[in-house]
Amino acid sequence: MRLHRSAALAAAVFAVCAGVAAAPEYATYDVHPAGSDSSQIFGMNTVGEAVGSIARGGVTRAAYWSGPDAAPVELGGLGDTLTRAFDINGAGEIVGIGTTAGAFRAIHWQRFDAAPVQLADLGLSARANAINDRGEIVGNVAIGTANTLFPAYWPHADAAPALLATFGGTGGTTDINNRGRIIGTLRDSSNLSQPVFWGDPTAEPRVLTGVNPSSSPTGINDRGHIVGRNAVPPGGFEPVFWQWSPADGDYRPAVGLGSLAPDGRGEPAEISDVGEIVGWSGPVSAAQATAWRVRTVSDRGEPAVMTEPPAALAGLGGAFARPQAVTNAGAIGGESATLAGPAHATFWLTH
């Protein structure tokens, strides 16, 4: 573990206020294990435990970090050369994917030191993307001879998957919050892709508005607020936020978050319950680690959004830095390229 200290490069200034808050300072921790080719963090839980993957010699293994000062633990797989862990809940349950006999399978680990268990699927490939603190899991399962993916929900690790309602086409899920609300993307019968949410696993999908086709939600917090990416021509995305309105019982149209890139491009990955958003500005290959903050306030009895300009987080000196997860305490996990090139698993912590 190597420590790099830096400050956020932009002040946390409310877009609708004249007051200026001091920019938070972050310590950037390189937690890449020696002797490995690359490593990434994909998910974190409320106590700051993180999961991701480590690649070494052509083999990729799911990995667990208890924190920035601890060595990673490689998780067991299904026997082939690839496993990745995507999410971890407050009880330490982990979900991800692994290959066996050349096919992707959804995996659950009861703890970081437990053997992997393949989740039930429909006979073809499957992927587990997220798990909430109630142990509910969402992902994708393949159906039919075309191996087509559909959005799936497992009420717990021992259950068979249930297919979520769709618009008659294919799709997939991205995340589930602790209240059981699910986000994802669906294609309709004309193959048009749209960002959607399900109020619960039995609900019909509803479209998230204010964005272009091929846009997608990426994270949802326990207040119901969603972040995602709006597809913009001629190719690329801009970061957006959907605010849940209890009075309306629906989401308001997407609001742009802004970007550090001159062309406004970027992608948010996750939002915490206190409104901190992490992701990156610019294209994936040259991503600049970025933090945003949104707050909801009362405006004549109706909730309104206050946004702060994006702030840069220091990487490890390479071509890109991509935060993927954030806790309510402000701990951030992701990956950052070094001057030598490969991606290293990275923590950003306030101090």
DSSP line for 298-346: EETTEEEEEEEEEEE---BEEEEEEEEEE-TT--EEEEEEETTS-EEEE
Question: Is residue 163 predicted with pLDDT exceeding 90?
Answer: yes
Whether residue 116 contacts residue 157, with contact meaning beta carbons closer than 8 Å, is answered with: no
Task: Write down the pLDDT at residue 188.
Answer: 83
β-sheet with 25-30: strand ranges across: 2-7, 25-30, 343-350, 332-338, 317-326
Q: Mean pLDDT throughout 269-297?
A: 92
Does the pLDDT value for residue 59 go beyond 90? Answer: yes
* pLDDT computed for residue 154 by the predictor: 98
The pLDDT value recorded for residue 12 is 34
Q: What is the pLDDT of residue 91?
A: 98
Cis peptide leading into residue 234 (ω within 30°)? yes
Name the pTM for this structure: 0.92
Residues 6 or more apart whose Cβ sits within 8 Å of residue 197: 181, 182, 183, 184, 205, 206, 208, 217, 220, 226, 251
- Gap between the Cα atoms of 59 and 250, Å rounded: 44
Average pLDDT over residues 190-200: 93
pLDDT confidence of 80, banded at 50, 70, 90? confident
- Residues for the chain: how many in total? 351
User: What rounded mean pLDDT belongs to the chain?
Assistant: 90
| CA–CA dist 223, 272 (Å, integer) | 9
Q: How many CB atoms lie within 10 A of CB 21?
A: 12
- Alpha carbon distance 270, 248 (integer Å): 24
Question: Span 44-60, mean pLDDT?
Answer: 97
- Sign of the Cα pseudo-torsion (234, 235, 238, 241, in order): positive
pLDDT above 80 for 297: no
Q: Is the pLDDT of residue 61 over 60?
A: yes
Q: Does pLDDT of 145 surpass 90?
A: no
- The number of beta carbons lying within 10 Å of the beta carbon of residue 105 is 23
Q: What is the pLDDT of residue 307?
A: 79
pLDDT of residue 101: 85
* C-alpha neighbours within 13 Å on the C-beta side of residue 236: 18
pLDDT above 90 covers what percent of the chain? 78
Tell me, what's the pLDDT at 18?
A: 33
Can you give the pLDDT at residue 22?
54
pLDDT range class, residue 203, cuts 50, 70, 90: very high
**Side chain identity at residue 277, one-letter code:** I
What integer is the mean pLDDT of 72-87?
94
| Rounded Cα gap, residues 151 and 187, in angstroms | 11
Which two tokens mark 186?
A: 């669906």
| pLDDT, tens only, 308-351 | 889 999 999 999 999 999 999 999 999 999 999 899 999 999 87
Q: In this predicted structure, what is the pLDDT of residue 295?
A: 76
CB 48 within 8 A of CB 29: no
Which phi and psi (to 5°) does residue 200 adopt?
Answer: -160, 175
296 pLDDT band, cuts 50/70/90, is: low
Cα separation of the two ends of the chain: 17
pLDDT band at residue 287 using 50, 70 and 90 as cut-offs: very high
Smallest Cα–Cα separation from 264: which of 293, 291, 240, 295?
Answer: 240
Task: Identify which of 291, 345, 270 has the alpha carbon closest to the alpha carbon of residue 8.
Answer: 291
> From the centroid of its chain, how far is CA 187?
21
Residue 285 per-residue DSSP state: G
Paired tokens of 241? 């936020």
SS3 232: coil
Give the residue among 223, 309, 267, 295 at the shortest CA–CA distance from 9. 309
